[in-house]
Amino acid sequence: MRPRPFILAAIISFSPSALHAQLRPLTTIGSVAEDRLRLAQLSDSASTAGFLIRTAGTLSDSSLTCRPSSAVCPPRTFVLAPELAATWNSRIPLSLNGGSMWSARGASTIVRAGAGFSSKFITLIAAPEYTYSQNLGFEVFPGTTPGRSAWSSPWHLGNQSADLPLRFGDLPWTLVSPGQSSLTLHLNTIDLGASSENQWWGPGVRNALLISNQAQGVPHLFLRSARPWVTRAGDFEWRIIAGALTESIYFDTVASNNVRSLSGFIVTFRPASDRDLTLGIARIVVAPASGTGTVLQGAFNAFTQWHPQSTPVTRADSLKGDQMISLFGRWIFPKDHFELYFEWAKSQLPSSLRDLIIAPQDAQGYTLGLQWALPVRDGRSQVRFQTEATNVEQSTVFPGQPVPDFYTGSATAQGFTQRGQLLGASVGPGGQSQWLAGDWMAHGWALGAMLQRIRWEDNALYRQPVVNFFRHDVTLLAGVRGTLRTKAYDFSASIAAEPRYNYLFQDGFANPGGRRTIDISNLTITFSAAPR
């Protein structure tokens, strides 16, 4: 029998010369390489295309993939250089943007490696992750809701429900996951594929309000622009996703709600009049699913479900999904090596324009930030300043009515979470953060200091008895950080001291009856080694 054409093509593609694998880096979200790329954008020496809709695959696109527009694009295999990140916490967990690694008390590590194949029409990246957390003991309050795990959150019940355990069990744990793996079909101006990668939507450095790398990546199908769509008005880029969210094993005992659907889209626009300005809109909808086989029934919810969310006149049990929408922008001034950015999100749609004008703060969250890199020593080094403020605390708009926390669910008990961690901002429901950092950036190294304040779960505080000013649960984080660039790897490390005041709202002065004041001094050390 004569071989069919596609079989011949496969044989040619996997010829011995094509199977000669090259060692390649995978640029991941939050890595030193990503930070260097953003810094280069401030001086107009790197393109901003695709940067506000990024994954490991898109950040590594130029080194791993061929594009349909390429004149010469021979098939090639590659081996991904291994990557390591580790965190050590002395007294309590502090886990910020760690992906599948939950940084518990004690040592936590994540290791990533893999391989891939790329041709003119297909790219396969297999980048699984191995995660270990020592998970030493620390004080938590047990969940008391019938049918839920004792590790489930004591703060998120009823209409404020979310799958956010304070601790992931009482034993060390390991996790092997698909990590930053993806399969992409290149169809000229669009890409189609499936992925388990972490995504980062929007301009934030420390927090993204809708989708970040705070949690493990969500398995999803995607359709996206392969490159900017150029029009007379400007350049458009977009991405559409349909994924499956999974409940953690520390939430409840109900087997029928373990999976939910995630539907989302994001569009960015760079006007022709100013290519250094990027504006965007993003929306996600999380909806119940009876099982994995029904997840795709909610694939287009982000386009079809636009009803106002739970209000005093809307029954929560009538909702088909929980939604979030955000508007964002980033403006770079290359001559000044300076950028401004913002993101503004709503977890409930206003019922009218009048409601939006009268109470714009209802169900809102926001991030504001800037970055400024000043050249020194004839341009060979830079002094960089960064600051960012995020706030998703909710204010009372309807007296006597519960105020829904950001990221909690009315239609879904688990809210906007993936395996017990948040899809969005690391500050969490009812949280706020202010962050300031300064670095000396040389060619092969950087050294700097940082200061951050985080107020945790503030809306949950006001659902506790004896509420007052003294009980706010606040972290103050101060530390130093540095990076070292070698021929093959970027190394980074940081050490930070964290006094946490009134841990879990425990303040003896504010709580009569002999309750303790719990202030905890925590030390956090991080280290990473990522291929250049």
Q: How far is CA 503 from CA 32, 163, 318, 456, 506, in A?
A: 32, 20, 37, 9, 6
| pLDDT tens, residue order, the chain (532 aa) | 443 433 333 333 334 444 456 888 999 999 999 999 999 999 888 899 999 999 999 998 777 776 555 556 788 899 999 999 999 999 999 999 999 999 999 999 999 999 999 998 999 999 999 999 999 999 999 998 888 999 999 999 888 899 999 999 999 999 999 999 999 999 989 999 999 999 999 999 999 999 999 999 999 999 999 999 999 999 999 999 999 999 999 998 888 889 999 999 999 999 999 999 999 999 999 999 988 788 889 999 999 988 765 544 444 444 688 999 999 999 999 999 999 999 999 998 888 888 888 888 888 999 999 999 999 977 789 999 999 999 999 987 766 666 789 999 888 999 999 999 999 999 999 999 999 999 999 989 999 999 999 999 999 998 888 888 889 999 999 999 999 999 999 999 999 999 999 999 998 876 666 567 899 999 999 999 999 8
Residues 181, 449: Cα–Cα separation, whole Å = 34
Residues 63, 78: Cα–Cα separation, whole Å = 10
DSSP string across 511-524: STTTPPP--EEEEE
DSSP string across 131-145: EEE-------PPP-S
pLDDT on residue 195: 97
> Kind and range of the H or E element at 491?
strand 489-501
Residues 246, 44: Cα–Cα separation, whole Å = 41
- What is the Cα 178 distance to its own chain's centre? 17
Question: For residues 440 and 448, is the Cβ–Cβ distance under 8 A?
Answer: yes
E-assigned strands of 18-64? 22-24, 53-55
pLDDT on residue 242: 96
